[in-house]
């Protein structure tokens, strides 16, 4: 959920961008920018954004691994030779 306690108008952000960027870097917390009083844009410092992307990538990787392990437990795996043959046929690769 968005913390609207740190919301500012887009106009204020544009007029005072240096102080907003300094606060973003210091606190690492995103800001909600509003247009006509409604939340429209989220701004965040680059390091915090990259950290969020890294955490998301980790979560997606762990989820995919779990999915694969569950599939294996259900006996849904194919032999590697079969998968390679299917890939060769699909993409016209030589043997």
pLDDT tens per residue, range 4-31: 667 999 999 999 999 999 999 999 999 9
Tell me what pLDDT residue 2 has.
65
> Which pTM was predicted?
0.70
Q: How far is CA 84 from CA 8, 14, 48, 76, in A?
A: 55, 55, 40, 16
At 95, is the pLDDT very low, low, confident or very high (cuts 50, 70, 90)?
confident
**pLDDT tens digit sequence for 48-87:** 999 999 999 999 999 999 999 999 999 999 999 999 999 9
């Amino acid at each position: 959920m968005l913390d609207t306690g740190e919301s500012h108008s887009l106009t204020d952000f544009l007029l005072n961008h240096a102080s907003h960027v300094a606060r973003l870097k210091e606190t690492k917390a995103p800001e909600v920018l509003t247009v006509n009083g409604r939340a429209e844009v989220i701004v965040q410092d680059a390091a915090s954004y990259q950290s969020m992307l890294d955490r998301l990538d980790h979560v997606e990787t762990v989820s995919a691994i779990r999915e694969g392990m569950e599939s294996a437990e259900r006996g849904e795996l194919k032999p590697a030779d079969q998968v390679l043959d299917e890939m060769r046929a699909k993409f016209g690769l030589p043997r």
